[in-house]
Amino acid sequence: MDSGDTAFVLVSAALVFIMTPGLGFFYGGLGRRKNVINNIMAVAFIMGLGMVMWVAFGYSLSFTGNTFGLIGSLDDAFLLRHGLEEPSAYAGTIPSLAFVAFQMMFALITPAIITGAVAGRMRFKALFLFIAFWSVVVYYPLAHMVWGEGGLLGATGLASVDFAGGNVVHISSGVSGLVLCLIIGRRHGYENTSYRMHNVPFVALGMALLWFGWFGFNAGSALGANSLAAHAFMTTALATAAGLLSWLAIDVAMGRKPTLISTCTGVVVGLVAITPGAGFVPLWSALIIGGSAGPVCYFGITLVKKRLKIDDALDAFGCHGIGGIWGGLMTGVFATPAINSAATPGLYLGEGRQFGAQLVSILVSILVAAVGTVVCAGLVRAVTAMRVSKRDELVGLDASQHGENAYPSFNGLD
């Protein structure tokens, strides 16, 4: 084992961890004042629940054993088979527990993304149960199918590639968020055009933490301090910068003023789009992927929210679902084995095999997330109501679900 690789992966794990509270600030700022505690709490509790579930059985179901290429086994429940000096089966230069820790952080941030779609109207108890069920029904199986040994969509199966979580993280959470908000329904007063996010600096803080942590998210997925990690770091930076600029350009082209909210949204879209291909595509293509993700997600959000009237409250599907799908397809266009031998040549090199594999894997991920979300919602409904009452929603979830007030002087009307 290599001490440099081990240190790099552990630092990357810490960077990925900071993304989860960063997402809390991002969502907290985008929502209403009366729901800021609930929006942050919806993310914060997952840091406890997700870690316990991951050690108890999540890692084992994702990365140990193989059952028809769909899910692992419980052979490594509670990590009882992991010794201090045991190298990881997925990266021989680092201890197995370093790999466990790194992947654990992905299992936290992924379900946290879903919470943005149903912000302001889902009972906390119901959300807690949904996230627990969803992790087992959707996340662990997808993690195994894409990254686990013998997985249906991975190297020994379909041979699709997903460097850091286009399918596993973004498509799964984005699609699940869309399905869940359809099940729960729109917020009262959804047509009120006077709605505005209450704390733009919170959004900017969340964006900064997300971008900072995303370097560990993508570069760390190389699982070593090596040239591939450096490449993924740079593709992440370039795609994100291009996403930021393209979103601002759209605002100006649409006759609007460039805003900080637009800047932050463009950053997230660029980050999401490059995630599946960060370690497979050339540097120059990262500019195309991030830059094109801006208009794709911008008009995708417009379609979902304004045309179809779907209340994806904080654009979980618009940014993560659409951005993840676009990034996965673009990986099939620009992938090259010259950068990473795990991929075959993409469309720009004249071959279509990788693009086809990406397309099928995306469709499978969408199906797993959509069906799994319906199943999980049914399980939750068997235990408790999913939506708060109209009165509790109008009062605000901070007071009705948590008995707290983020701003003591707040009058509760916004």
Q: What's the pLDDT tens digit per position in 104-136? A: 999 999 999 999 999 999 999 999 999 999 999
Domains of the chain as residue ranges with CATH: 3-402 (1.10.3430.10)
- The arithmetic mean of pLDDT across residues 277-287, rounded, is 98
- The arithmetic mean of pLDDT across residues 406-410, rounded, is 78
As a whole-number percent, the residues of the chain with pLDDT over 70 amount to 98
DSSP state, 280? T
Q: Taking the mean position of all CA atoms in its chain, how far away is CA 122?
A: 20
Task: At 32, list the tokens.
Answer: 């209403």
Task: At 17, list the tokens.
Answer: 């961890």
Beta carbons of 324 and 272 less than 8 angstroms apart: yes
pTM above 0.95, yes or no: yes
Task: At 190, list the tokens.
Answer: 């959804």
Q: How far apart are CA 138 and CA 176, in angstroms?
A: 9
Q: Position 90: which residue type?
A: Y
Task: At 342, list the tokens.
Answer: 């795990």
Across the strands, what pairs with 223? none
Q: What's the pLDDT tens digit per position in 287-344? A: 999 999 999 999 999 999 888 899 999 999 999 999 999 999 999 999 999 999 999 9
User: What DSSP string describes 291-317?
Assistant: HHHHHHHHHHHHIIIIIS----TT-HI
Q: What's the pLDDT tens digit per position in 168-204? A: 999 999 999 999 999 999 998 887 655 678 899 999 9
- The arithmetic mean of pLDDT across residues 21-43, rounded, is 97
Task: At 332, list the tokens.
Answer: 């099939």
**To 10 degrees, what angle do helices 96-114 and 124-134 make?**
140
Per-residue pLDDT at 362: 98
Per-residue pLDDT at 191: 75
Q: How far apart are CA 348 and CA 70, in angstroms?
A: 31
Q: How far apart are CA 30 and CA 313, in angstroms?
A: 9
As a whole-number percent, the residues of the chain with pLDDT over 90 amount to 92
Label residue 80 exposed, middle or buried (CB < 10 Å: 0-12, 13-18, 19+).
exposed
